[in-house]
Structure 1
Amino acid sequence: MPYPICGTIEFEWRTGVVAKDWSKVAKKGQIQVMEFELKKLYDTVLSIHDEMFYLREREEEMKDINKATNCKMFTFSI
């Protein structure tokens, strides 16, 4: 015999950032350390970004040189 439903149950799921109790985490010293680490990470990301653009430019230059060399070699072989 099934039991009658007497009420409802509600769940509030929290994950990630909202799951943490920031009042306990946010101490001034910890925030300064995190801010410093974020600045270092940001500088690293900018450096990687600049390096990627540099490598793209070099790749284009190398493609042009390669095409010119292939064209000269083809002409020379004829």
Structure 2
Amino acid sequence: MPKVNLDLQLKFLSELESALTDALGRYADESDEKLAELAYMQKEVRRAKRVISERIDSDDQPRRRYPAEGYQEVAFS
């Protein structure tokens, strides 16, 4: 499984959030539907940033892993 660069994803999401903020200001005169769509996208970007930040923090904490740990969810599903 390829390793994901979480810092790069966080940087991309920050730039995307900034662009959405600019778009919300630029399209303030547009329809309510378009503004709601932009606001929804911005909310989802913030949620994704929060998830990635939590994942970065959890990766920083040293943790002992056991070989069967990855299969635990499958066994109980």
The interval holding the TM-score normalised by the smaller chain is 0.3 to 0.5
TM-score computed with the length of structure 2 as normaliser: 0.41
Bigger-Rg structure (1/2) = 1
> TM-score, normalising length from structure 1?
0.40
Higher relative contact order (CA 8 A, sep 6+): 2
